Structure 1
């Protein structure tokens, strides 16, 4: 059984090329990506929310948990229900949203045309710490995460009022949904499969990210054949929220490069026209 995720329209028009954006644990798509989405003319931008976050329903405690692969399949199903067809799309995601992007590119390679992975990793340190965090929020709710997350989330460049807005969203998250995402993160490890990612990949790291430091993004960029790394000064774990102008500029460039590469490949693959005398 797939988890339930909700898709939101963030910017653009349905006739434009599709860009899907994914959130970090404890955040919502519109809060994390809204400013970036508005700065991407020419794209129809859809965001999705994790189970128990934002517009997605709370987790049903009577159902089993899920893997990152199942979460990626749930995102794909929700996108298809939203747009009404199995269309290809560009993808960008932060933290667990970036992990879902890697999973989509590996499990559903015909659907993802380009990939941006921000403040994320190919593995998140194994299950033990994530099991402990899941147990904590199940026992005490989201209050401990509201207290501890600022140290993991934010770099020095973000104003205090913006920090408060993100923490307000975190306080409303369903603890069971949060816990199940923690457990999925603990089991996630695609390091051995990174060389199979067959689309252009932009890895964006925050120079002050203590959760997924630049070395974690460099590992992805180095292993993916078409990978590229950018490190943002003053930024922590929520790059689209902390530095929306810089992230939007990077995405515009990355999406344009990927489109140019696809067009070039298509042109080379197209058979030459036959002359009239042939």
Structure 2
């Protein structure tokens, strides 16, 4: 998902580390009860392996919730924060129940294809779906190829995540909240409080973009992140 923005940022001279979520890509499956705390700790361990003491974190959707968990557990290692398509509150009881039902259904081989076909389009904005049907096909293929056990574990971890508002209020670092103007999963009314909670938070809205800005608008996403990195540098963040 981050290939486009990462390429743009590297061309600007930034070091970029795109980390697979546990159980996806090259990352080993998560162990233990579903919890984003263990995902955040796995990220900390990967930074250790890379010799990185602290970093500017950018996360989209699940990555955003991972970033908030990391901020909760390793605040001294965060030099800047970008949250894309993520809300700061915990799931409502109804939303959590929906995630748990989704997790169970995704493990059903007979139901998975239909479930992916029904839910994947909402990840992209209406403009993207109309202009980039190839991207919808790509995202659908990625969803179908995802390990079912990892998807289910992750959905259960998301359902169990706590409210992060207090953590965001304590984050005295340059911060950016990005919302797609056509995001069908996170509303503007949910994104604005995230930016307001962050002491140095700024909100940016990308018109014609849905839930996955790094895929739908890689150059615009990279431009926004470059601005955040510049702010972090002026704040004395140094190298990342």
Match of 1:260 among 229, 234, 237: 234
4+ residue stretches of structure 1 with deviation over 4 A? none
Q: Does 1:77 align with 2:77?
A: no
Show the counterpart of 2:184.
210
- Indicate whether 1:94 and 2:60 are aligned: yes
Q: Kindly indicate whether residue 130 of structure 2 is the aligned counterpart of residue 162 of structure 1.
A: no
| Per-residue deviation, residues 84-111 of structure 1 (Å, max 9, x unmatched) | x352111101001011112222221111
Cα deviation for residue 50 of structure 1 reads 1.9
Answer yes or no: is 1:153 the counterpart of 2:119: no
How far apart, CA to CA, are the structure 2 residues paired with 1:263 and 1:153?
Answer: 33
TM-score, normalisation: structure 1: 0.77
Counterpart in the other structure of 2:20 = 49
SS at match of 1:157: helix
Query: Per the alignment, in what secondary structure is the counterpart of residue 185 of structure 2?
Result: coil
Mapping 1:162-181, distance limit 5 Å: 162-181=135-154
| CA contact 1:51–1:178 (8 Å) conserved in 2 | no
The structural deviation recorded for 1:145 is: 3.8
Runs of 5+ unmatched residues, structure 2: none
Match in the other structure for 1:4:
none
- In the alignment, is residue 38 of structure 1 matched against residue 14 of structure 2? no
Deviation digits for residues 131-160 of structure 1, max 9, x if unmatched? 111111122364234212333201133211
CA spacing shift, 1:193–1:88, aligned 2, 3 Å: closer
How many matched pairs? 228
Alpha-carbon offset, residue 52 of structure 1: 2.7
Q: What TM-score do the two structures reach when normalised by structure 2?
A: 0.88
Give SS of 1:93's match: strand
Q: Which structure would you say has the larger Rg?
A: 1
Corresponding residue to 2:78 among 99, 107, 112: 112
> Which one has a larger percent strand, Structure 1 or Structure 2?
1
CA distance in 1, matches of 2:65, 2:117: 25
- 1:196 pairs with 2:165: no
Q: Any gaps of 5 or more consecutive residues in structure 1? A: 1-31, 265-278
**Structure 1 vs Structure 2 CA RMSD:** 1.9
